[in-house]
């Protein structure tokens, strides 16, 4: 676990809790890998909060700094909203395992300085230059907290002609080529149904932060990390980028189909759609056997993947006619023991009623002080010797301001009253 490698740096390099141990205690109980790591979270919307949420799942203590009386913009991204609450359901998706601390960044930078001294990592997603103007940029904070890992998540990075442009997921997906390759073959560009570029950026940032913490173990120094939506999206083009850069091949939209594998796409059934793929000739033979169409294997147009790609339209037409003859559930029964990957295209209702989803228990139900309960999709990664789980629901705005400033910074009633009177904190 990461903490094993960070433990020797506890005294000197910014880890502040005293009770450290390996991932497994003497009694055999699991520990969180990031137990003892403190995150100063100055992020909003999706990419940044998703990053810090993943770190929080791993046991880091995350202090979510929010604007007094306003909070993260995504709190207002509804309907739908939580019952008896002004918080959106959207906000619930990326803000668990955090403490909400309301500090005005324009007037409360001294509070942020004190928090930075106590934290290991700062994550922010403001337009480049914004925090510098407030005295909260990396050049300032590295003097105050030399061991701080400072991660900036932006739309386009800190260099280049677009560096001052604001960036949202769909803009990065547009400019980074994802919308060009997403959608039906002869239709207009289509947006992916979720903010996938934001999520990928948050995951890149989370991995970069862990790597920087490991490097700090060797050097004793923090550093600045730049992660941005646009670069992330270009990096995520993978084979499409390689096709263009190395073979001069322009990409196109294929719908659910695959450019280089046939069959590999969604097919209409009598009740909906299923998706199947045959990545090898053996899998195609298995498909034909289960369909009762063994003669297709002998057809010279379909004997291997190269010929199937060449004769894509003919094969897909044949398979489409067959697959429309039964319902999705009937086909899933037929393909129960299939060697090729296959699955129905599920609605949200069908996803969360799926027997596998229910069996692995990835959905967690936790008490909520206003709504009664909140259901959250938990971490998808399972560790053999460590915890990775939900320990607290997304916080109410300013819920932990007093707790953190009193317990972590030692502020008393007089100081808290002064800050609150000046509307520096909520």
CA distances from 324 to 263, 291, 342, 347, 350 (A): 16, 12, 15, 19, 20
β-sheet bridge partners, residue 268: 273
Contact 82, 88 (CB under 8 A): yes
Cα 41 from chain centroid (whole Å): 15
What DSSP character marks residue 8? G
Tokens 């992660």 map to which residue?
A: 227
> Catalytic pick from 41, 169, 198, 226?
198
Contact 49, 65 (CB under 8 A): no
To the query of whether residue 198 is one of the catalytic residues in this protein, the response is yes
Cα 328 from Cα 269, distance rounded (Å): 6
Cα 62 from Cα 139, distance rounded (Å): 23
Cα 293 from Cα 26, distance rounded (Å): 60
CA torsion 186-187-193-197 (nearest 10°) is: 70
Q: Provide the total of helices (H) and of strands (E) in the chain, helices listed first.
A: 19, 11
Contact 149, 220 (CB under 8 A): no
Angle at the Cα of 245 (from 242 to 246), degrees rounded to 5?
80
CA distances from 346 to 43, 305, 317, 388 (A): 32, 28, 23, 27
Contact 23, 33 (CB under 8 A): yes
Catalytic residues, by residue number, are 198
């Amino acid at each position: 676990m990461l903490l094993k490698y960070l433990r020797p740096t506890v005294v000197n390099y910014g880890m502040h809790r005293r009770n450290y141990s390996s991932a497994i205690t003497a009694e055999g109980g699991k520990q969180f890998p990031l137990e003892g790591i403190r995150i100063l979270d100055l992020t909003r919307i999706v990419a940044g909060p998703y990053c810090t949420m993943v770190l929080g799942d791993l046991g880091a203590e995350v202090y979510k700094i929010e604007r007094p009386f306003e909070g993260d913009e995504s709190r207002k991204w509804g309907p739908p909203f939580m019952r008896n609450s002004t918080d959106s359901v959207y906000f619930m998706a990326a803000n668990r395992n955090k403490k909400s601390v309301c500090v005005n960044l324009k007037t409360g930078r001294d509070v942020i300085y004190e928090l930075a001294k106590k934290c290991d990592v700062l994550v922010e997603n403001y337009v480049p230059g914004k925090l510098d103007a407030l005295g909260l940029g990396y050049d300032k904070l590295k003097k105050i907290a030399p061991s701080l890992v400072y991660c900036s998540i932006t739309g386009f990075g800190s260099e280049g002609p677009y560096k001052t442009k604001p960036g949202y997921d769909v803009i990065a997906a547009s400019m980074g080529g994802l919308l060009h390759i997403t959608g039906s073959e002869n239709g207009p560009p289509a947006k992916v149904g979720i903010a996938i570029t934001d999520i990928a950026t948050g995951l890149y940032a989370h991995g970069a932060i862990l790597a920087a913490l490991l490097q700090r173990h060797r050097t004793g120094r923090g550093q600045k990390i730049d992660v941005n939506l646009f670069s992330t999206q270009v990096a995520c083009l993978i084979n499409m980028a390689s096709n263009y850069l190395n073979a001069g091949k322009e990409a196109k939209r294929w719908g659910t189909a695959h450019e280089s594998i046939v069959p590999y796409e969604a097919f209409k059934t009598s009740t909906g759609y299923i998706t199947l793929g045959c990545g090898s000739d053996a899998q195609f033979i298995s498909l034909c056997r289960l369909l009762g169409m063994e003669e297709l294997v002998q057809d010279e147009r379909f004997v291997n993947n190269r010929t199937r790609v060449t004769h894509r339209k003919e094969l897909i037409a044949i398979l489409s006619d067959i697959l429309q003859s039964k319902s999705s559930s009937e086909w899933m029964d037929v393909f129960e023991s299939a060697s090729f990957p296959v699955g129905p295209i599920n609605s949200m209702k069908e996803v969360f009623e799926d027997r596998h989803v229910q069996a692995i228990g990835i959905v967690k139900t936790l008490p909520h002080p206003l709504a009664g309960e909140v259901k959250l999709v938990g971490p998808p990664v399972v560790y053999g010797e460590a915890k990775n789980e939900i320990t607290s629901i997304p916080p109410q705005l300013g819920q932990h301001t007093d707790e953190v400033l009193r317990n972590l910074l030692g502020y008393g009633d007089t100081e808290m009253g002064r800050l609150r009177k000046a509307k520096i904190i909520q």
